[in-house]
Amino acid sequence: MLNADLHCHSTVSDGTLTPEALAGRAKANGVELWALTDHDEIGGQARALQAAQALGMRYLTGTEISVTFAGQTVHIVGLGFDHLDSTLAEGLRRTRGGRGERAQEMSDGLAKVGIHGAYEGALKYVGNPELISRTHFARFLVEAGVCKDTPEVFRKYLTEGKPGFVPHRWARLQDAVQWISGAGGVAVIAHPARYSFTPNEEYALITEFVAHGGRGIEVVTGSHSSQEAQRYAQTAQEFGLVASRGSDFHSPDESHTDLGALPWLPGQLTPVWELLADRIQ
C-alpha cells in the first residue's frame, strides 16, 4: 500500500502551516505521495511541488473547490491538473470573490450578539487576503475567549441558523468538475459523510457529478469513521468511482488526524492515483 495523503491545507487557505512546513511534516510522517489542496486556491502549488521534490516525495497538484448543490456547500477536490491552466485559475478566482463581503456580513451578525471586531480579529489569522474563511473567525473567537475550541465556535456561531452564518453561493458542481477535468485532473467528492443530504439528494449529487465527468470519491479522510469509510467504499463500487485518501489536515493544534496517519483504502477499490500515474511529479 502507498501512503498517499491527498487532502490538506496551508496558510494559502485556512491551514496554519506553510506549504514547505506541510511538506516536511508529511515526509516525516511517512507520506509517499502528497497533494496540497487549498480551498478555492492554487497559489501554493509551485511551492508545494518544489518542497516535495526537494524531499524526494512524489506530488500531485491539488485544490478543494467550494460548490453549492441542493442548497448545501459541497467540496470537490481536484487532483493532478495543470496548475497553469487559465480556465481553472479564472474559475477559482471567481469562486474566491465574495469571501470578503461575506466576512463583513459574518462580522455584522456576530456584532449583533455582542461579539465586536470579529472581521479585524479574523484578518490577523489570514495568510491570503483573498481567502478569509470561517476557520479564521473560529480562531479569533477562541483567542477572544468566546469558545474553548474551533468545533465549539462552529456549533454555536458559524453554522446554518447561527449568528455568524451567512448563506453563500459558491461555484456550480458542473463548473468545478469541468475546470478540473479540463485541466487534465480528476475531480473527487470530498468527505461525503459530512453533508446532510437526504438519500435522494446524495444520489442526485453523485449521478450529476459522474455525468459532468467526476471520477472519484474520498473514502478514507480525517473526518470519516470506519463505518463511514465502509459505507463510501460501497458507494464507490456502486457508482464505479475511484477512491481517494486524505487527512484534511489544517493545523497541529486543531486537526485530530495528522498528515499520512490514516487507515488504508479498502483493498477492493481502485485508488485515484492509478488514474493519475502520468500526472505524478
Q: Which residues bind ligand AMP (CB under 6 A)?
A: 14, 39, 66, 133-135, 150-151, 154, 250
Q: How far is the CB of 166 from ligand AMP (least distance, A)?
A: 9
Q: Which of the listed partners (Mn ion, ligand AMP, none) does 66 bind, with a CB threshold of 5 to 8 Å by partner kind? A: ligand AMP
**Closer CB to Mn ion, 102 or 237, in the complex:** 102
Provide the minimum distance between the beta carbon of 7 and ligand AMP in the complex, in angstroms, as a whole number.
10
Q: How far apart are CB 14 and ligand AMP at their closest, in Å?
A: 5
Cα-based torsion angle of the residue sequence 49, 50, 53, 58 in order, rounded to the nearest 10 degrees: 0
Q: How far apart are CA 155 and CA 126, in angstroms?
A: 21
**Contact of residue 151 among ligand AMP, Mn ion, none (CB under 5-8 Å per partner type):** ligand AMP
Kindly state the DSSP code that residue 265 receives in the 8-state scheme. Answer: P
Whole-number minimum distance, CB 34 to ligand AMP, in Å?
19
Binding status of residue 14 toward Mn ion by CB under 5 A: yes
Give yes or no for a contact between 63 and 128, defined as CB atoms under 8 angstroms apart.
no
Cell numbers found for residue 148: 474553548
Q: CA 212, CA 239: separation in Å to the nearest integer?
A: 14
Whose Cβ is closer to ligand AMP: residue 66's or residue 235's? 66
- 3-class SS at 246? strand
Q: What residue ranges in 127-224 does DSSP mark as E strands?
A: 186-189, 216-221
The distance of closest approach from Cβ of residue 39 to ligand AMP in the complex, given in angstroms and rounded to an integer, is 6
Q: Which is nearer to ligand AMP, 106 or 206 (CB)?
A: 106
Q: Which is nearer to Mn ion, 133 or 235 (CB)?
A: 133
What are the cell numbers at 204? Answer: 442526485
Q: How far is it, in rounded angstroms, from Cα 23 to Cα 52?
A: 6
218 touches Mn ion (CB under 5 A): no
| Nearer CB in complex with Mn ion: 26/190 | 190
CB of 52 vs Mn ion, minimal distance in Å: 18
Work out whether 99 is an interface residue with Mn ion (CB under 5 A). Answer: no
Residue nearest to ligand AMP (CB): 133
Q: Which does 11 bind (CB under 5 to 8 A by kind): Mn ion, ligand AMP, none?
A: none
Given 229, 233, 248, 249, the residue binding Mn ion (CB under 5 A):
248
**276: closest CA among 244, 249, 230?**
244
| Residue with smaller CB distance to ligand AMP, 103 or 242 | 103
CB of 9 to Mn ion, least distance (A): 5
Q: Give the CA distances from residue 136 to residues 27, 115, 126, 250, in Å, rounded to whole numbers and listed in that order.
A: 27, 15, 6, 11
Nearest to 260 by CA among 58, 93, 72: 58
Which long-range contacts does 25-28 make (Cβ < 8 Å, 24+ apart)?
Answer: 25/258, 25/259, 26/52, 26/57, 26/259, 26/260, 27/52, 27/55, 27/56, 27/57
Name which of ligand AMP, Mn ion, none residue 134 binds, using a CB cut-off of 5 to 8 Å depending on partner kind: ligand AMP
Residues forming contacts to Mn ion in the complex (CB under 5 A) are: 14, 64, 75, 190, 248
